[in-house]
């Protein structure tokens, strides 16, 4: 019997795309429609400098609706990759649900299929990971995965809470990342206390 201990598993920050990393548009169907938010590169680069993986998880029902092809999506993501590279930032994984909301698939957020797939590929502990997005469904996704949730207000018009409360709210991804790094620093401190010695612990710098 094989068992993966949680100590050996990695942690990740799962990012929503539209309204979180890029400007919110209802359906982004052409590279020209895709605009990285001005702070996204810096925010992702900051995460890249930690041990956290950065994984994009996005619902793109425009594909099932016939508004966008897989090639079109690849072109949009190539533009995103180039703009992030220019900022010294990178994504460790990109997961897309191309299905229609009525299809009943297991990957459309708030279903956890994309996160489970990423967890399997990268040996990620979802309960020690974060989910950041601009919609309540991102919060629901994070909750379903038992992750820590951050709602950003840089995208979709604010939706009624309906009892779906994130662990934290931030104006943009940049403040969300700063909050996550504070949680990571607190976590490292707790680990030091558990060890009873400050010598063997990993330090996490908060910028």
In Å, what is the CA distance from 76 to each residue of 15, 36, 62, 191? 16, 11, 13, 41
From candidates 105, 164, 185, 188, binder to Zn ion by CB under 5 A: 105
Report the partner that residue 105 touches, choosing among Zn ion, Mg ion, none (CB closer than 5 to 8 A by kind): Zn ion
Give min distance, CB of 159 to Mg ion, in A.
Answer: 11
User: 169: closest CA among 139, 146, 137, 141?
Assistant: 139
Question: Smaller CB distance to Zn ion: residue 105 or 188?
Answer: 105
From candidates 134, 141, 174, 176, binder to Mg ion by CB under 5 A: 134
Alpha-carbon gap, residue 178 to 170, rounded angstroms = 10
Alpha-carbon gap, residue 188 to 74, rounded angstroms = 38
Alpha-carbon gap, residue 6 to 3, rounded angstroms = 9
Give min distance, CB of 111 to Zn ion, in A.
Answer: 7
Query: 3-class SS at 45?
Result: helix
Asked if residue 76 binds Zn ion (CB under 5 A), the reply is no
* Interface of this chain with Mg ion, residues 13 to 52, rule: CB under 5 A: 16, 18-19
Is 188:203 a contact under the CB 8 Å cutoff? Answer: yes
Asked if residue 170 binds Zn ion (CB under 5 A), the reply is no
Asked if residue 56 binds Mg ion (CB under 5 A), the reply is no
Of residues 16, 92, 134, 138, which has the active-site annotation? Answer: 16
From candidates 11, 77, 79, 99, binder to Zn ion by CB under 5 A: 99
33 is catalytic: no
167 is catalytic: no
Alpha-carbon gap, residue 153 to 186, rounded angstroms = 25
Alpha-carbon dihedral 14, 17, 23, 25, rounded to 10 degrees: -140
Asked if residue 142 binds Mg ion (CB under 5 A), the reply is no
Asked if residue 108 binds Zn ion (CB under 5 A), the reply is yes
Interface contacts to Zn ion, rule CB under 5 A: 97, 99, 105, 107-108
Q: Which amino acids are annotated catalytic?
A: 16, 18
């Amino acid at each position: 019997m094989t068992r993966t201990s949680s100590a050996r598993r990695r942690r990740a920050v799962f990012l929503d795309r539209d309204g979180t990393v890029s400007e919110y548009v209802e359906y982004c169907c052409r590279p020209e429609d895709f605009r990285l938010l001005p702070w996204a590169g810096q925010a992702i680069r900051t995460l890249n400098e930690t041990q956290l993986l950065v994984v994009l998880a996005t619902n793109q029902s425009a594909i099932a609706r016939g508004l966008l092809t897989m090639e079109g999506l690849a072109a949009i993501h190539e533009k995103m990759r180039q703009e992030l590279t220019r900022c010294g930032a990178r994504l460790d994984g990109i997961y897309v649900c191309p299905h229609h909301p009525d299809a009943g698939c297991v990957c459309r957020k708030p279903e956890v299929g994309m996160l489970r797939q990423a967890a399997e590929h990268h040996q990620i502990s979802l309960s020690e990971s974060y989910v950041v997005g601009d919609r309540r469904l991102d919060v629901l996704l994070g909750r379903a995965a038992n992750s820590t949730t951050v709602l950003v207000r840089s995208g979709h018009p604010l939706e009624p809470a309906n009892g779906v409360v994130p662990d934290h709210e931030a104006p943009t991804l940049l403040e969300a990342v700063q909050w996550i790094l504070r949680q990571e620093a607190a976590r490292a401190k707790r680990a030091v206390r558990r060890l009873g010695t400050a010598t063997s612990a990993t330090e996490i710098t908060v910028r």
